[in-house]
Amino acid sequence: MSFFENNTILISILSIVFLGSISSWGLSLEPDKITRQLIESRIKSSHTICVKGEACAKNAYIPPQADREPMAAAAIYKKYCTACHENGAFKAVKINDKAVWKKRLDEAKNGYKGLLEIVITGIGLMPPKGLCTDCSDEELEATIRYMVEFDPAAAK
């Protein structure tokens, strides 16, 4: 057998193997078998999101803030924030450090709203919401104002 003939046989065998595998790929990708349902079941998230008011959110945990009367800023400060802000524990801004509060307010993007965002997420050694986990945004913002604009004479 000449060298040329030998190679022809080899090429023929390779072609058969190659064509065979192409047709079997073809089979596994047969479009009729890939239904929309199958695709959706494969890309589906393992979580679902329920929005308040929807039937699926019926048993969802709702923070207790709805269950109590709104608290006054001074009361929230006394109950939650005083631990750090009264005497500057953990290097917190002291309640009557007017100059530092003013600087913080000036530096915050968007004024009080900016400070509110920082307090909600927490910063440095201050835990989220300054530990008042059931405080509403409005209550927190009022408390921040109370602290920034603190007037010792009015507090007595």
Q: Give the integer Cα–Cα distance in Å for 65 and 63.
A: 6
Residue 116 corresponds to which tokens in the numbers above? Answer: 């509110």
- Which residue's structure tokens are 């595998």? 21
Minimum Å distance from CB 152 to ligand HEC? 18
Q: Is 83 exposed, middle or buried (0-12, 13-18, 19+ CB in 10 A)?
A: middle
How many helices and strands in the chain, by DSSP H and E? Answer: 8, 0
Which residue from 71, 95, 142, 143 is in contact with ligand HEC, where contact means CB under 6 A? 143
Minimum Å distance from CB 128 to ligand HEC? 10
The SS3 of residue 31 is helix
* Span near ligand HEC by CB under 6 A; candidates 13-21, 22-30, 62-70, 141-149: 141-149
Q: Does 95 bind ligand HEC (CB under 6 A)?
A: no
Residue 130 corresponds to which tokens in the numbers above? Answer: 């300054």
Give exposure, 2-36, as e/b (b: 16+ Cβ within 10 Å).
eeeeeeeeeeeeeeeeeeeeeeeeeeeeeeeeeee
Task: Give the total of residues touching ligand HEC (CB under 6 A).
Answer: 27
Minimum Å distance from CB 110 to ligand HEC? 12
Show the site string, 40-69: x = touches ligand HEC by CB under 6 A, - = not: ------------------------------
Show the site string, 116-135: x = touches ligand HEC by CB under 6 A, - = not: --xx---xxxxx--xxx---
Q: Does 91 bind ligand HEC (CB under 6 A)?
A: yes
Residues that bind ligand HEC (CB under 6 A): 76, 80-81, 83-85, 90-93, 104, 108, 115, 118-119, 123-127, 130-132, 140, 143-144, 147
